[in-house]
């Protein structure tokens, strides 16, 4: 699980993973206007940045073997 707080906005995601894959799943949020379909435009950017960061760490880990 990960939580990001920016000013008055908060997003929490679950990050289930295995040896072969991971995913980033919406859990809840505050002040992001989520209505079951649409959410604040910055949310997707935050998720993309989180995914890139995870991928970079995975790439570094595999280089050490």
Span 49-65, pLDDT tens digits = 999 999 999 887 666 55
Per DSSP, helices labelled H in 1-65 are 41-63
Q: Are 42 and 35 in contact (CB under 8 A)?
A: no
Whole-model pTM: value is 0.82
* Alpha-carbon distances, residue 24 vs 10, 46, 63, 64 (angstroms): 15, 11, 24, 25
- Regarding predicted confidence, which is higher, 65 or 17? 17
All structural domains of the chain with their residue ranges = 2-63
């Amino acid at each position: 699980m990960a939580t990001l707080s920016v000013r008055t906005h908060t997003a929490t995601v679950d990050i289930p993973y295995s040896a072969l894959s991971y995913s980033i799943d919406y859990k809840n949020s505050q002040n992001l206007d989520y209505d079951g379909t649409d959410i604040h435009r910055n949310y997707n950017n935050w998720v993309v940045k989180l995914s890139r960061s995870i991928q970079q760490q995975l790439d570094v880990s595999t280089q050490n073997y």
